[in-house]
Amino acid sequence: MRASAFHITTLKEAPNDAEITSHRLMMRSGMIRKLAGGIYNYMPLGLRVIRKVEHIIRQEMDAAGALELLMPVVQPAELWMESGRWEQYGPELLRMKDRHGRDFVLQPTSEEVITDIARNEIQSWRQLPVNFYHIQTKFRDERRPRFGVMRGREFTMKDAYSFDRDVASAQKSYQVMFDAYMKIFSRMGLTFRAVSADTGSIGGSQSHEFQVIADIGEDLIVYDPASSYAANIELAPAPCLLTQRQAASAPLTPTPTPGAAKCEAVAELLGTPLSQTVKSIVLATDPEKGPAQVWLLLLRGDHELNEIKTGKVPGLNKGFRFATEAEIIEHFGCKPGYLGPVKMVKPVKVIADLTVANMHNFICGANQEDFHLTGVNWARDLPEPDLITDLRNVVEGDQAPDGKGTLAIQRGIEVGHVFYLGTKYSEALKATFLDEGGKPALMEMGCYGIGVTRIVGAAIEQNHDAKGIVWPRAIAPFEVAICAVGWGKSQAVRDAAEALYAELKAKGVDVILDDRDLRPGIMFAEWELIGPPVRITVGERGLNDGVIELLGRKQTEAARVPLSDCCTQTL
């Protein structure tokens, strides 16, 4: 690639809505341009990175035996009705009608369609196991799209779906994907952690997230530095209840400990295992039992505020309504949204092992409006500085019997998520096969997502300096930039730069030749912002001594290298 023929449009300043470094740098380097909230054009420079990310994913998915196919972005609503998610998914699911008034959705994920494919295509146990994947545009009407590609509304995901004849085989498929994910994120040069996680609206019984460690991450990870225990805070309160000793020996899915009775109450109420609790706090009343019972609900997953307001909460088998102000005053001794101490005047079903004092910490840190309406979204809505302290209060709170909680907390960006689904979708859509005995059996499923475009932002969060992006080589838009200084004036520079460019290209290096005849300061600043791992400067002065300058993006001093050695040193 020649810079004169490429589209390089860097900006001095990022727009105001770019709050975090990666968003700012992606805008400034010209990788993306905003079209609407959470919807971006991927410009040629940004697309190169996305393609490299996809390439690594494809290679590892293929190596793991998965088969690529491509499912449509637009999906008929009938399949979503069959699975029940037409009702459950909430406003994140973008719905539309065609000219005949038929309902469709823009896919946020593809369990329904792939299960439909499986039930039509797979008849016999001989066709199993099989794992299908695609890399496709997703649409989720996120409540708060932000951080550029990190939380977009339209984004690219790799999603894979495994089908197996029994649980043992399905668990193997899960492990194969888990291992493939470890390879994928390692190859991309990311610092990450696999953590046990909530299964959210996708459903299922076991799951792990792959979290890129970064301070701006929206997820919180609780881990024990002394063991392999690591979990998303969404799995709290269970991890909060673990003592240090228990945490050290805990299996990846945490088991409820001291407050077991209360924990069971949550599980019963939510109709899910405890390990799948909680994110938001809601004050609500059970209409069957009347206003005498005010519940403090800790809800799991990504439930939208609107749904909760109308009492539709996926996973809850009863319709809940919001407690009235009078009920809240009666039971809590304070008004909803009141930011002072919460006094419990009557026994209230405080679900899960958060004490009222701890609850107070959350409430005090919360955005008043949010709490007034529905409560607090732990991970996203609390002001930054208080959050970690508040969570520490919970993690290291009253319930650790030996008083020595040493679970540590980190922030992470969720770039991948693997789920063991069991038969949730095969049952709903009746995806059966004939087993060895000729009897119909339900397929065991798993699903495995990677946020392709989110990875680009996450990688920049981990790899940048004051001057710009510092790409890991595997996903850099270019591996090498040759900066020809004095291109217009010097035949010697043109010849040397062209020769080097041809040589590197022949060796398979992804190289760009900057032949724009820019002043060196401007040219260097631009490449520092764009961030290829190696910059080679070819200038007349160096050529007189038979050398060029080789500068690694992380280095401050360029090495003077004989022209003849340059190619080998770059490789």
Interacting residue ranges for Mg ion, rule: CB under 5 A: 302, 414, 417
CB nearer Mg ion, residue 304 or residue 370: 304
Q: Is 134 in the site for ligand ATP (CB under 6 A)?
A: no
Q: What's at 391, amino acid-wise?
A: L
User: Which of the listed partners (ligand ATP, Mg ion, none) does 304 bind, with a CB threshold of 5 to 8 Å by partner kind?
Assistant: none
Binding residue for ligand ATP (CB under 6 A) from 40, 104, 155, 181?
155
CB 185, CB 212: distance < 8 Å: yes
CB of 109 to ligand ATP, least distance (A): 6
Q: Per-residue x/- mask for ligand ATP, residues 442 to 461, rule CB under 6 A?
A: -------x-x-xx-------
* Calculated CA dihedral for residues 97, 100, 102, 108, nearest 10 degrees: -40
Q: Is 300 in the site for ligand ATP (CB under 6 A)?
A: no
Q: Is 411 in the site for ligand ATP (CB under 6 A)?
A: no
241 Cβ contact partners less than 8 Å away, ≥ 6 residues apart: 256, 257, 258, 259, 263, 353, 399, 400
CB of 219 to Mg ion, least distance (A): 7
CB of 396 to Mg ion, least distance (A): 24
Q: Is 278 in the site for ligand ATP (CB under 6 A)?
A: no
For residue 547, the cross-strand partners are 562
Which listed range, 178-186, 221-229, 323-331, 411-419, lies at the site for ligand ATP (CB under 6 A)?
411-419
Distance CA 245, CA 275 (A): 19
Which listed range, 268-276, 288-296, 413-421, 505-513, lies at the site for ligand ATP (CB under 6 A)?
413-421
Distance CA 491, CA 515 (A): 12
CB 333, CB 348: distance < 8 Å: no
Measured distance between the N- and C-terminal CA atoms of the chain, rounded to whole angstroms: 18
Buried b (16+ CB within 10 A) or exposed e, 507-537: eebbbbbbbbebeeeebbbbbbbbbbbbbbb
Distance CA 70, CA 434 (A): 26
Which tokens hold the place of 266?
Answer: 């949550």
Quick check: helix, strand or coil at residue 185? Answer: helix
CB of 302 to Mg ion, least distance (A): 5
# of chain residues touching ligand ATP (CB under 6 A): 18
Distance CA 7, CA 20 (A): 24
Q: Per-residue x/- mask for ligand ATP, residues 319 to 358, rule CB under 6 A?
A: ----------------------------------------
Element (H, E) at 405: none
User: Which of the listed partners (Mg ion, ligand ATP, none) does 151 bind, with a CB threshold of 5 to 8 Å by partner kind?
Assistant: ligand ATP
Residue of closest CB approach to ligand ATP: 451
CB nearer ligand ATP, residue 102 or residue 144: 144
User: Which of the listed partners (ligand ATP, Mg ion, none) does 155 bind, with a CB threshold of 5 to 8 Å by partner kind?
Assistant: ligand ATP
CB nearer ligand ATP, residue 37 or residue 319: 37
Look at strands 219-223 and 280-285 and give their pairing: unpaired
CB nearer ligand ATP, residue 200 or residue 397: 200
CB of 462 to ligand ATP, least distance (A): 15
CB of 17 to Mg ion, least distance (A): 20
CB nearer Mg ion, residue 302 or residue 461: 302
Binding residue for ligand ATP (CB under 6 A) from 54, 116, 142, 327?
142
Cα 117–chain centre separation = 26
Instruction: DSSP for 104-163, please give it.
Output: EEE-S--HHHHHHHHHHH--BGGG-SEEEEEEEEEE---SS-BTGGGB-SEEEEEEEEEE
Q: Is 414 in the site for ligand ATP (CB under 6 A)?
A: yes
CB 412, CB 214: distance < 8 Å: yes
CB nearer ligand ATP, residue 414 or residue 479: 414
Q: Is 415 in the site for ligand ATP (CB under 6 A)?
A: yes
Q: Is 208 in the site for ligand ATP (CB under 6 A)?
A: no
Buried b (16+ CB within 10 A) or exposed e, 287-297: eeeeeebbbbb
Distance CA 87, CA 275 (A): 24
Rounded to the nearest 10 degrees, what angle do helices 384-395 and 356-365 cross at? 170
Which listed range, 147-155, 438-446, 464-472, 540-548, lies at the site for ligand ATP (CB under 6 A)?
147-155
Q: 521 to 560, contacts with ligand ATP by CB under 6 A? A: none
CB 432, CB 124: distance < 8 Å: no
Binding residues for ligand ATP, per CB under 6 A?
Answer: 109, 140, 142, 151-152, 155, 157, 200, 202, 302, 414-417, 449, 451, 453-454
